[in-house]
Structure 1
Amino acid sequence: MATAGPSRANATAPKFDSKNLEIKTKSIEQTLVPLVTQITTLVNHREKVGKKSEKTCKAIERVGQAVNLAIERFVSVGEAIGDNNADIKEDMFDACREARLAGENIAKLTDMTYDESGQVMSPADKSAMVRAARGLLSAVTRVLLLADRVVIKQIQAAKLKVIDSLNKIESTKTFTEFVQCFSQFGKEMVELAHLTGDRQNDLKDGKMKAKMAAARAILERSTMMLLTSCKTCLRHPDCVPAKETRNGVFVNMRRALSLIDDVINGGYAQPMQNGITTSRNTNNALQELIDLVETAKVTQADKSSRDKLQYVLDTVIDTTQDFTDSAYTSHEHRERILTLRDRARTDLRTLASVGAVLEKRPNKQHEQDLETCIQQMSKTLLDLKKQLQNTALDQASEIFRSNDDQDLLANLKQTGATGDLDRVEEHSLKFSEHSEQLQEACRLLGHIAGTAPLAISADYAENNIKSIGPQIVALATTLAIHPSSKIAKESLEVFSDTWESQVNDLSLLVKEINDCCQGKTSEKQVYLSLPRPGYIPVSKHGSTPKSIKPAKLDAEEQAKIAKLGLEMKLMTSELDAETDKWGDQDNDIFKRAKNMSSMAYSMYLFTRGEGMLKTTQDLFKQAEYFGEEGNKLFRSLKQFAAQVPECSLRTELSSLIDQIPSYCQQLLFITKSPTMGKVATFNKVDNTIQETQNLLSTISRIVPLSYTLAAKFQILSPVSPVHRWRTAPPTMDYRYNSYEDSDSIASSSSSRSDRSPLRGSTEKILY
């Protein structure tokens, strides 16, 4: 990989954080697939306790050696990249050293050993293999992320060249000098367009893709506008409107370049306040409020929940003012929004009062009253959400029905060409009013957009219309001052074409947002499963496994499934290791944590095409049970925390416990949301597994902390109130797979390691 170029390329780049292993590109995920595959095989081998044949042990040994050799070749490339890039050399060599040691460790753990009689030994050191696997994945990911910094440097170098060219163009005084500078600028723009296009396609995050697409669109459209506006300014150097137009183009292009810098450096963290994401998007705030209301079933509207509900409702009300304050919102829509806002306030006051009473005097009647309040407020919020959607879409539809753009632009061109400044000013006022109406429509569309990429697209559409409108007015004025100027007329034509192109894009965006609000898609509903990695069987709901027709996964989907599956596997292994420390195996915390680990393990088997979960519908149902079990664990943990004396560990425990309801609610929301089509269903699978991991990660931190507190304060002693805890209901164990024998399936008390056999040969190593 080549060096990025000028040292200024990384001037604005943040320092690489070796602890942040977030993967933001598809290419890195795909690179990890073969390694994840082999490590999964090795971890499964260690999970299987008992004697293995010499043939199986040799196969495992070969896998370990193959991993070690592959890592050695891999780090050699990494070190070569480090040698060519001094700014990452130290970090790269450190990461390569870790990867090399981890690969050697994997090889040692898989070496064949013999006992005194010469028989092959197969030590089941599960924890050692898990630690080695995690260390190897972490080190390799660090190497890939550091190599990715080189790509980022290349984009930054190309961006800096464009900025330098823009500065030169801005300072030109003659046509000859301008032509030379613009020619060089064109070559550099082509290079930047290629690099940013590749980056856009490689990005995983939809928000970042949308931002990059917006930046690239601005630069592409601004190139012709820059050419004609600069020529107009050079031809009429004393014309103030011409200078304003040209300066506006420079401002827009520099903002787009700054946005590219923001995207490649990952600057998209949402601001947080009171533990809640703050956003100007009404849809986000409303959905967050709906989720919090549903969560009140678990938290029983305690003081903390009531404070969060009030804060988010205030955010919703603040953002809906864009709807009620808009001059283009009809009286009927405005009154309906105000009525529903007032009703939401009243519903929350009622819910809060019931929650306060329930907190002091819990009884069945108050619980029923709380359920009624929750249902009522949920209905009000859904009605408000629908009303806001109707308001925004009606405004946009009205604009496109009137179709005033062509007439307004034609009038500006005609009056400018005749040199009638008074008529230009008259038509400019009408055009500016139309521009403001379009901006209002974009703002409201951004509020109701159901996805972050759509909201970002609406936001940038508003900004583009806001900037291009005054430039068109200024150019019409320029033409009116110089009615015989061909370059001024050409410039106005170019800007008018850009305006029409932006309005056309907005019409497509309105359709996409409308479809998103209505849940429409062109794909047929399907359910997916993974009988073998790399394939997806597409089946109708209720069909038998025999009717499943496999469809091949693409590289990105395969990478996601493999990586998420292995992460889930390692997390369940860690949770099992923590729960195994508990001596009192009759208490509710132990049982529910163990049960949730079992459920998560069945979901891991699904990612390998194994186990009892055959279709995505099975996966979603299992995840739903997982979320419900998490809610039950939350109640048990609250009872446990109440018995712990005041201390710093109790504060930490309470903070972690309070995270459980929101994770459970989000998981239940995802699993119950309808999907149509292969892509949407696969995204639902991805989101389901990720939310399961979030909840599992929190529980993995809670269980050892609870054990420490229980032991420290002797809460688990025979006389402890722990014996009054509810007993966890029996749950179905999905963890076995179709390759197991009947004995292992029948034995419900057998360890998980008996349910993950390595199936015999190296053919299973690369799946």
Structure 2
Amino acid sequence: MAGPQINDARLSLEIRTKSVEQTLIPLVTQITTLVNHKERPRVTEKTTQALVRVGQAVCLAVERFVSVGQTIATENPEISADMCQACAEARNAGTSIQHLTSVDVTSHRNSQQFAEKTAMVRAARQLLSAVTKVLLLADKVIVKQLLISKNKVSNTLNELYSVNTFTDFVNCFSQFGNEMVELAHLTGDRQNDLKSDKHRAQMGAARAVLEKSTMMLLPSCKVCLRHPDCETAKQNREGVFKLMRGALGMIHHIVMDEGGGQANGNVSPVLNGDSGIGLDNSCSACKAFKEFEDQVEMIRMTGVTPSCKEKLTGALESLIETTQDFTDSAYTSHQHRESILMTGDRLKSEMSVLLRTCKNRRNSNNPSPEMETAILRTLTAAKSLNKQLQDTAMDQASELFKANEDHEILKRLRAAGASGDQQRVTEMTVKFEEHMQQLEEVCKLFRHIATNEQLVIAAEHNEFVLKSLGPLTLMSAQTLSQYPSSKIAQENLDMFADSWGTQINDLSIMVKEINDVCQGRGDKPVYLSLPRPGKHGTSSRGLRPVKLDAEEQAKIAKLGLEMKLITSEMDAETDKWEEPDNDIVKRAKNMSSMAFSMYLFTRGEGPLKTTQDLFIQAEYFSEEGSKLYKTVRDFSDKVPLCIHREELMTNLERIPACCQQLHSTLRTQTSGKTATFTKVDNAIQETKNLMNIIAKVVTTSFVCATKYNIDYRRSPGSSRRWRGPGEARSTASSDNESMYSSSMSDGLNKSSSSNKQFSASNTSLDRQPSGPNSEPLSH
């Protein structure tokens, strides 16, 4: 793909990323010092010599900076000319600054002061401009890399859409998984680097859609391949592909900053569409209240001019219009509806009094007591109406979650599908759709009362996902009702039902976050739940989670996503075996289940609640790997000498070393947050590496068994079962390990520094301070 155009108006000095901004701060500080020096009438010889050294240091730093820029220009021909020009400007400016600071050694006459100051300011502006251009051009390279990665995922997704055989699908899905991991890394960096809260929230929402859709992609495609004539299965798969394409398109728009209004930061309606995570241009109630209050406050200074009166009247009309979503809702109680209408009428009445009072105003400089009283009464009425809307939205959500219908509806839907009762599935579909409409209504009302753009996007994102995921869940149930004995169709319904439950959980957390902000109890949105705090084996004291910084979040979340994709590949490989009741498949699936539970831990979900649970699960994973090694070793004795046997033995002999490495990692004693995080990181990394080898071994074993017609059925008397952390024996661990409760956001919030090459230190963004006494860990 061709890189983005460089010579456009948007290569102005507008800085949209934190890394560029942070890289410029030290330079701005130094230059400010030099410019301020020129305003001093007298300086000592010692100060003058110090300034000379500063000028020399700036010049040397610019030279190092320019050399990196020229290297980037060589590696990226499309920006070479612009980069070289910007580097030359930076070098000239640096040389000028060095010369101007050197002049002070021999020149002390005041007649030169003004000219030197003017020259210094000019050189400083030139240097800042040139350095910023270099950084923005380097950022264009990062954008190009991200878009190339996005296009790879998009192209492979199209290939997945067109495959007709299971083998082709498995191969293509494996490639897709690797490309998705790369894209997750790059988009995570970009999300954390964006200055705009709105764009960061949009990127996070797009990445969350991609991650959830990837989990649903495998079973939905498997059902289509197994039942190619099933129309509902096709529609189910189509919906997943549509979700992913919409999210990829949204990522493209955010990265290229297309459709964004430069004046007010709003996103063009073109971004809404299928992605569902662009800001809705329709006015929210919170925004309408703010605009109305601003216009009322303006009257204190200007009085009621014709223009002011027109704006104030228009603001009130917009405000009242937003309340109609509350009064028109079928789920709003009669009491709340009447209260909203009554408070709205009171607001109109107070504004009429205000306009009459201001019309009689004589002194244009100071508001009269009557006018001040009218302003306060109008603002009080507006606040009362706003509070009434918040109470209405919260009561709707409370009633919805109190009823807790989701669990029961999904339970009956699953049962009806598994029994093949299509009529019962149809009946449950009607109830599910009614419940889905109520959930969407809650999202709409909470979008109105959300107080910042991140929360607005969270509400829109939840509404979009529920609206998209609901019909897909129903289609998966209808498919199962047509093929009640199909194991793959059952797995597909289970996946969509679990995803629906997870989304309901995300919605409840969003509702709490928005309500907390409205009540003044918080101001920062968190979109995913935290793991419940664990208890140490020797203590009954509950523990609070501790903040993970951005880089720690990135590491754990990245490994978790990679492991999730490997487990999906493993499941696809084991499903190819015609007779799954054999030692190899059973143990491989067992390990896949354990790895998946560890992946859920990185998201703050699943059965593993503390690091102690994670370590115990990893220990059983290692033991199961050793057992699989022995099973496949016996199987390999039946394989004749061939290239496939050589490949099998090569991968097989790596298993004991990996198991031993994982076992050694788990035996490591730790104390403190940093050491415990390192142990968690290493355990997940070693588990991922072992899982990757197991997937290759299972694939090669299947090839050998099929090609040479080898009997791979389960040996008599062998049995095994998955062991969870609750069944595990206690292992030695420090108190701090159990206190470490990790949770990831819906995406990979990695510390980004797209211009790391220019910075002497790593630009760590959104890092939470953690002192020696901050024990609990969380996102």
How would you bin the TM-score normalised by the shorter chain? 0.5 to 0.7
Deviation for aligned residue 1:59: 1.1
Check the 8 A contact 1:271/1:278 in 2, yes or no.
Answer: no
SS at match of 1:441: helix
Pick one of 291, 295, 298 that aligns with 2:294. Answer: 291
2:220 equivalent to 1:225: no
Any residues of structure 2 matched to 1:449-488 within 5 Å, and which? 449-488=450-489
Check the 8 A contact 2:153/2:176 in 1, yes or no.
Answer: yes
Q: Which residue of 2 aligns with 1:261?
A: 252
1:108-128 CA distance string (max 9 Å, x none): 332234679x88997254444
Deviation for aligned residue 1:19: 5.7
Q: Which residue of 1 aligns with 2:374?
A: 373
1:207–1:364 Cα change, 3 Å: closer
Pick one of 32, 38, 41 that aligns with 1:46. Answer: 38
1:210–1:162 Cα change, 3 Å: same
SS at match of 1:47: coil
For 2:54 and 2:388, the matched residues in 1 are separated by 59
Pick one of 43, 58, 71 that aligns with 2:62. Answer: 71
Q: Which residue of 1 aligns with 2:403?
A: 402
1:466-497 CA distance string (max 9 Å, x none): 00000111111111111111111100000111
For 1:230 and 1:193, the matched residues in 2 are separated by 22
Q: Which residue of 2 aligns with 1:22?
A: 14
1:128–1:349 Cα change, 3 Å: farther
SS at match of 1:112: helix
Amino acid at match of 2:230: C
SS at match of 2:102: coil
Check the 8 A contact 1:282/1:320 in 2, yes or no.
Answer: yes
Pick one of 129, 143, 146 that aligns with 1:155. Answer: 146
Q: Which residue of 1 aligns with 2:113?
A: 123
1:269-326 CA distance string (max 9 Å, x none): 35979x9996532112211211221122112232222222222222222222211111
Alignment coverage as a number of residue pairs: 513
Tell me which moved more, 316-325 or 513-522.
513-522
Q: CA RMSD in A?
A: 2.8
1:19–1:418 Cα change, 3 Å: closer
Pick one of 189, 193, 196 that aligns with 2:187. Answer: 196
1:145–1:425 Cα change, 3 Å: same
For 1:398 and 1:474, the matched residues in 2 are separated by 28
Pick one of 309, 315, 322 that aligns with 1:319. Answer: 322
Deviation for aligned residue 1:261: 1.1
1:227–1:363 Cα change, 3 Å: closer
2:337 equivalent to 1:337: no
Amino acid at match of 1:295: M
Amino acid at match of 1:22: E
1:128–1:320 Cα change, 3 Å: farther
1:548-588 CA distance string (max 9 Å, x none): xxxxxx999xxxxxxxxxxxxxxxxxxxxxxxxxxxxxxxx
Check the 8 A contact 1:58/1:112 in 2, yes or no.
Answer: no
Q: Which residue of 2 aligns with 1:519?
A: 520
Pick one of 83, 100, 107 that aligns with 1:109. Answer: 100
Check the 8 A contact 2:516/2:522 in 1, yes or no.
Answer: yes
1:86–1:342 Cα change, 3 Å: farther
For 2:133 and 2:65, the matched residues in 1 are separated by 12
Amino acid at match of 1:501: T
Q: Which residue of 2 aligns with 1:349?
A: 352
Amino acid at match of 1:374: I
Q: Which residue of 1 aligns with 2:752?
A: none
Identity %: 51
Tell me which moved more, 52-61 or 21-30.
21-30
Deviation for aligned residue 1:89: 2.5
SS at match of 2:207: helix
Deviation for aligned residue 1:406: 1.0
Check the 8 A contact 1:419/1:480 in 2, yes or no.
Answer: yes
TM-score in terms of structure 2 length: 0.62
Any residues of structure 2 matched to 1:138-217 within 5 Å, and which? 138-217=129-208
Amino acid at match of 1:382: K
1:129–1:369 Cα change, 3 Å: farther
Deviation for aligned residue 1:377: 1.2
Query: Any stretches of 5+ residues in structure 1 without a counterpart?
Result: 1-5, 524-553, 557-767
Check the 8 A contact 2:517/2:523 in 1, yes or no.
Answer: no
Check the 8 A contact 2:462/2:503 in 1, yes or no.
Answer: yes
For 2:345 and 2:400, the matched residues in 1 are separated by 30
Deviation for aligned residue 1:364: 8.6
For 2:461 and 2:321, the matched residues in 1 are separated by 21
SS at match of 1:100: helix
For 2:261 and 2:325, the matched residues in 1 are separated by 21
Query: Any stretches of 5+ residues in structure 2 without a counterpart?
Result: 268-279, 525-548, 552-779
1:611-637 CA distance string (max 9 Å, x none): xxxxxxxxxxxxxxxxxxxxxxxxxxx
For 1:365 and 1:319, the matched residues in 2 are separated by 33
Check the 8 A contact 1:206/1:452 in 2, yes or no.
Answer: yes
Q: Which residue of 1 aligns with 2:313?
A: 310
2:244 equivalent to 1:243: no
Deviation for aligned residue 1:268: 6.4
Amino acid at match of 2:46: K
SS at match of 1:252: helix
Amino acid at match of 1:264: V
Check the 8 A contact 2:302/2:364 in 1, yes or no.
Answer: no
Q: Which residue of 1 aligns with 2:697?
A: none
Deviation for aligned residue 1:210: 1.0
Amino acid at match of 2:345: D
For 1:213 and 1:312, the matched residues in 2 are separated by 32
Deviation for aligned residue 1:501: 0.9
